[in-house]
Amino acid sequence: MSHAPHPATTVAGFGDKTDEPGPERATSTRPHRAVSATMGSPSMEVLHTTVAGAPGTAVSGEVDVATGPALTDRLEQAIRRTAGPFVLDLCAVTFFDSTGVHALLRTSALLGREDRQLLLVCPPGHVRRVLELMGILEMFVLYDSQEDAAAAFTRVEA
């Protein structure tokens, strides 16, 4: 029985073996492309960014069984390279399944080990509904937009 090779995830930018970031790139406040995964579905992109000085990651596209593992890996890398509260922006996610839930729970657990907070930017919609149906919505500090998260973060620092 012959098996066709599994399509590979295209990984570019932040933390891949061919392009290790230097200190200047790891601390950049400018968003840059971290992963683009296409595996028989629309792509998922992960951008590293900051919200009111807090490091963060913005995800767009579909988070499913094909792209979820790459998302989990990139979030783990981003957590290892940053300090303080961590912002995860899911505003541009178009599909979100249990692999996305796994990535969120893993991210929350890793940050919790270091007494760091996960700030989730997740407007009302399908992603928030999945979290609600799973019974885990209350586990997260939620904001409807990056602006709301930045305003709340700025008030806490003042």
Place of tokens 């305003």: 151
Tokens of 15: 């933390």
Torsion sign, CA atoms 29, 31, 36, 41: positive
pLDDT of residue 41: 46
* 42, pLDDT greater than 80: no
pLDDT of residue 153: 76
Burial class, 97, CB count within 10 angstroms (exposed 0-12 / middle 13-18 / buried 19+): middle
* 11, pLDDT greater than 50: no
User: Which one is predicted more confidently, 49 or 106?
Assistant: 106
The pLDDT-based confidence of 7 (bands split at 50, 70, 90) is very low
Q: Quote the percentage of the chain above a pLDDT of 70.
A: 71
Tokens of 144: 């409807």
CA within 13 Å, CB half, 54:
27
Summarize the confidence of residues 104-123 as an average pLDDT.
Answer: 96
pLDDT of residue 118: 95
Torsion sign, CA atoms 68, 61, 37, 85: negative
CA distance 6 to 12: 19
Contact 85, 115 (CB under 8 A): no
Domains and CATH numbers, the chain: 23-157 (3.30.750.24)
> What Cα–Cα distance (Å) separates residue 25 from each residue in 31, 51, 60, 63, 81?
10, 17, 21, 25, 11
Which stretch of 38-52, 73-87, 142-156 has the lowest confidence by average pLDDT?
A: 38-52
| Entry pTM | 0.73
Contact 70, 35 (CB under 8 A): yes
* 10, pLDDT greater than 80: no
Place of tokens 């590293």: 48
